[in-house]
Chains A and B, each alone.
Chain A
Amino acid sequence: MISVRNLRRSFGPVVAVDDISFDVQKGDVLGFLGPNGAGKSTAMKMLACFLPPDSGTATICGHDILTDPIAVRRSIGYLAENAPAYGEMTVAGFLGFVCDARQLSGAERRKALERVARLCHIESVYHQTIDTLSKGYRRRVCLASTLIHDPQVLILDEPTDGLDPNQKHEVRRLIKQMAQDKCIIVSTHILEEVEMVCNRCIIIARGKILVDSTPGELKAQYGCGLDEVFRRITTTRKSA
């Protein structure tokens, strides 16, 4: 469902993403790991058609990110790193705007709103202004806006950042539950999260893919926990 080919992007002299290629199939939950500044968010922004790549391309659900970005955006749900939302709006108003942009109306819209409010547990703050919400609720509202059109592909940039342990558990459970019929990419720093929800992981550093494997294989290969594997790979290896 996602096919990335030689994607590259630099900011001035800094190469953020350096010629990465990978494929993700339906049913996969791909953990995107890497130290800060490794290029995870830049790669995800390119897949979400927010940033144009310098070279290379990707197709998502058969649509090319360069030639048909609107069709790509229609078929994905993207949760940005800092969970941006319009703070002056109420949760209901904000989700209504996302429904408008995604052309959901009538009964379909009502059902979608009920479904995401229940899934993300935001019923209690539904009529509250977003600026007055805690970080955890704000992130859940953004996650709800990502899921509203029940997309086939989900790109989630640090979805559990700022959540308390119970909320983290809920989001991970939600990702696992959705994994069966979707294709999901999750970036995270929390390695236990990778073990819990991902069936595959890519470790990226300095813009290059260092490892493309499964959490189980990595642990078996290095004979230690994922934390130690991550540390060894990102501090010693240069590229795959």
Chain B
Amino acid sequence: MNGFWAVYKRELKGYFATPVAYVFLVIFLFFAGYLPFKQGFFEQRQADLRLFFNGLPLLYIFMVPATAMRLWAEERRTGSVELLFTLPITVTQAVVGKFLAAWSFLGIALALTFPLPVTVAYLGDPDWGVIATGYLASFLMAGGFLAIGSFFSAVSKNQVIAFILSVVACAVLVYAGLPTTLQYLSTILPPGAVAAVEGFSFQNHFDSLLRGVIEFKDIAYFVILIVGWVSACSLILDERKAN
């Protein structure tokens, strides 16, 4: 077992060794179930999960940075980072191991929303392709938020600062692509700049996947986003681990 698997295994087990995982799962599942019904799940009289998926970005803005904030900030605060990086584990192995463990945990949380598809299947005849791309989009979005969160967790030893910076960064990337923001930006920026802001935003790519269309540009957006922030996390950690 190499350094990557050792870190991955320890980290994933670590979530369930403390109340962190259970508190997260209960709160996440409560709101993931509550929001679609609050926004008129029955009233729309359609057997789909559009309302559920539409509510996830808002939930993720707070929940994913809460998962990510401890990734490195805690290691650096308690000094266990010194233990980790004097074992034969490279910074890349540790960063990727922790990131994938946290992403797996978010995947478990997302998988536990299965009663919602079961409900729509009971109530009607949903389009399973759209539901599958919706779950894919949500999982990729969680990965994107997590990569941003892990970067800010490596930046600061203080978990609260890491959390706030990640929330702000994720919120900017979500809200920049909302129609109201783009409409406002179009009054002060040239059309090219507005299109660039829209292209950088999560929302645009997320919505595109929610419609059931898997396009290369949307998948590439999330992959580049994740790889970019995780690489930045490795660089900053290598630089700051001993500070």
The answer to whether A and B come from one shared complex is yes
B-binding residues in A (CB < 8 A)? 45, 48-51, 70-71, 73-74, 76, 78, 80, 82, 84-89, 93, 97-98, 100-103, 105, 142, 145
B87 touches A87 (CB 8 A): no
Q: Within the assembled complex, what's the spacing in Å between the Cα atoms of A103 and B89?
A: 11
Chain B residue contacts of A85, Cβ below 8 A:
80, 83
A39 → B minimal CB distance (Å) = 14
Docked complex Cα distance between A80 and B82 (Å) = 7
B88: which of A45, A74, A88, A142 is its contact (CB, 8 Å)? A74
Do A84 and B78 contact each other (CB < 8 Å), given the known contacts A97-B6, A100-B5, A101-B3?
yes
**Which of B7, B18, B87 meets A73, CB within 8 Å?**
B87
CA–CA, A142 and B79, complex, Å: 13
Q: B87 touching A102 by the CB < 8 A rule?
A: yes
Interface centre among B1, B5, B80, B86 (most CB of A within 10 A): B86
Q: B residues bordering A, Cβ < 8 Å?
A: 1-3, 5-7, 9-10, 13-14, 17-18, 78-83, 85-90, 241-242
Question: If A97-B10, A101-B3 touch, does A70 touch B83 (CB 8 Å cutoff)?
Answer: no
* A47: nearest chain-B partner, CB-CB: B86
B3 CB, nearest partner CB in chain A, Å: 6
Chain A's nearest CB lies how many Å from the CB of B87? Answer: 4
Cβ of A88 and Cβ of B17 under 8 Å apart? Answer: yes
Q: Is A73 in contact with B86, judged by CB distance below 8 angstroms?
A: yes
- Bound CA–CA A73/B82 (angstroms): 12
Provide the residues of chain A in CB contact with B86, threshold 8 Å. 48-50, 73, 76, 78, 80
Contacts of A51 in B (CB 8 A): 242
Residues in A with CB closer than 8 Å to B81 are: 84
